[in-house]
Structure 1
Amino acid sequence: MRFDNKVVIVTGAGDGIGREMCRQLVDKGAKVILNDIDAALAEEAVAVISNGSNNCIPLAGDAADLGFVREMVDTAVNRFGKLDIAIANAGITLFGDFMEYPPDDFFRVMQVNLGGSFFLAQAASRQMKKQGSGGSILFTSSVTAHQAHKNLAAYGMSKAALEMLAKNLVIELSPFNIRVNTIAPGATLTSRTQDDPEYRATWSRLTPIGHPAEVEDIANAALFLVSDEARHVTGQSLVVDGGWTSISPSPYE
């Protein structure tokens, strides 16, 4: 897959899966706006990824803020002349027992996971429609959109809604040759999850293929979905979980 001269926005990309998406995109010829709410993290990621080129620029801000969402699209166009791909990867996970779940946590999860993704897709598709050359939008979902997980009712609900949004946008955006898909990662080794000393062992035991994903595994699948090789794929969710959702053993058993 090549992304020569493609212009891409990736939110929540200072670390983990989003950062690896950006690394691979730049390596394959794309020009990338790398967003993270943490300015230092975004700048550090770009310093590593860009390797001295101007093909990856940091843009720090809250991907759930409507004004900032529009700024990201404007920056892509002003800096690189267009926008071809938007990856709504930013999201937050706030665990909590359903009976005691705080309203503030609920609405923040929805604001980031749903609102940020919805309005990035809206702003990006408006620009793509104006350009007249189509485009691709990708939402980052989760296996919790497919299988119940303890203490993640709000999070799982938000991710399932993203997958329905992708299906609905097939109706809205296909006339403009804009494709919309979701990627649904399972357990993945990132700097955050590896802070838990039991994470690798637990998910190696629970994952049929014998180990959790690396960030490269998720990014590889994501890049396929936004690439020209997937030009006839839209409205779909690709689960990348080593088979976990097929049998769905709980880490709490």
Structure 2
Amino acid sequence: MTTGNFQDKTAIITGAAIGIGFEIARQLAAAGAHVFLNDIDPAAAAQAAEQIQKESGSCTAVPGDSSDSQFINNMVEKSIEQTGRLDIAIANAGITLFGDFLTYPEDSFNRVIRVNLNGSFFLAQAAANQMKQQATGGSLLFMSSVTGHQAHKDLAAYSMTKAALEMLAKNLVIELSQYRINVNSIAPGATLTERTLHDKNYEAVWSRITPMGRPATASDIAAAALFLVSDQARHITGQSLVIDGGWTSVSPSPY
């Protein structure tokens, strides 16, 4: 996907210092986009942006809390001040807080809702208001999950937010298509990242229960993300693409 299709485009990606978000940012920058890379960890955001810059990509670190609507507005304004436009907004930031439904604490529930839903909703809103002013429109992308399609133990709150993001993408079709803004979501399955590899059994377990014989890599997910925010996908909107090596077709539990 590094074919120059994103030359001179501006993209914002939240929660992108590591993992899937970082790989999307890296591939977009390599393809010519100027990337505003957000993460709540200032040091991690700076390190990620520096690494992308060293690979000949254009990337600006924007540390801050992507669940805070005022910060989101400031981040969008910064992208406009520096590049004059905003073409792509990817709401990648999210948190997973496991817990039994019968005893799930309210503070955990509120954190999951705030980061996964508030942050995504208001990034889309701020980005769309800018894209509306541009004759070329733009692309929005939400980060869902296979858990928005299939039940997963101890993830009731998280799964609820991921299913909600897919409905948000569908609903925004009637709100934003007139402004040439398309909006989609991707639903990754098990993926090898810095976080999941903390579990020494993760790769072996998910290789065993995934029909394609392995979990996804961050590059697998990023390739799909880049397609959906590219000009080649301008007529695709309101859709969710599952990227799971076939797991949701059979859905064996990892437990």
- TM-score > 0.5 by shorter chain: yes
Shift of 1:231: 1.1
Q: In structure 1, what is the Cα distance between the partners aligned to 2:56 and 2:150?
A: 42
- 1:15 is matched with 18
User: Deviations for 1:198-223, whole angstroms, at most 9, x for unmatched residues?
Assistant: 00000000100000000000000000
What is the rounded CA distance, in whole Å, between the counterparts of 1:72 and 1:241 in structure 2? Answer: 32
> Per-residue displacement from partner, 1:231-251 (whole Å, max 9, x unpaired)?
110000000000000000001
Partner of residue 129, structure 1: 132
User: Which residue in the other structure is 1:117 paired with?
Assistant: 120
Matches within 5 A, 1:60-209: 60-209=63-212
Match of 1:246 in 2: 249
Deviation at 1:50, TM superposition (A): 1.1
**What's the secondary structure of 1:197's corresponding residue?**
coil
Secondary structure in structure 2 of the residue aligned to 1:239: strand
CA RMSD of superposed structures (Å):
0.9
Asked if structure 1 preserves the Cα contact closer than 8 Å seen for 2:29 and 2:57, the reply is no
Question: How far apart, CA to CA, are the structure 2 residues paired with 1:189 and 1:132?
Answer: 39
Q: Distance in 2 between matches of 1:231 and 1:82?
A: 18
Cα shift at 1:53: 5.5
Quote the Cα distance in structure 2 between the aligned partners of 1:220 and 1:53. 19
Identity %: 65
Q: In structure 2, how many angstroms separate the alpha carbons of the residues matched to 1:206 and 1:54?
A: 37
Determine the C-alpha separation between the residues in 1 that align with 2:199 and 2:10: 36
The reply to whether residue 218 of structure 1 matches residue 221 of structure 2 is yes
Q: In the TM superposition, what is the alpha-carbon distance from 1:54 to its structure 2 partner?
A: 7.3
Where do 5+ consecutive residues of structure 2 fail to align? none
C-alpha displacement of 1:72: 1.0
SS in structure 1 at match of 2:133: helix
User: Normalization by structure 2: what TM-score?
Assistant: 0.97
Q: TM-score, normalised by structure 1?
A: 0.98
In 2: Cα distance, 1:51 partner to 1:218 partner:
23
- The 1:24–1:99 alpha-carbon spacing in structure 2 relative to 1, beyond 3 Å, is same
Aligned to 1:49: 52
Deviation of 1:132 (Å): 2.7
Figure out how many residues of one structure are paired with residues of the other and give that number: 252
Is the aligned partner of 1:4 residue 2:4?
no
The 1-side partners of 2:245 and 2:13 are apart by 24
Give me the whole-angstrom Cα distance separating, in 2, the residues matched to 1:127 and 1:179. Answer: 14
**In structure 1, what is the Cα distance between the partners aligned to 2:128 and 2:202?**
38
Change (3 A) 1:163 1:52: closer
Aligned 8 A contact 2:52 2:58 in 1:
no
- Aligned residue identity for 2:250: I
Pairing 1:40–2:33 present: no
Q: Aligned with 1:131: secondary structure?
A: coil
Q: What are structure 1's unaligned runs of at least 5 residues?
A: none
For 2:165, the aligned partner's letter is L
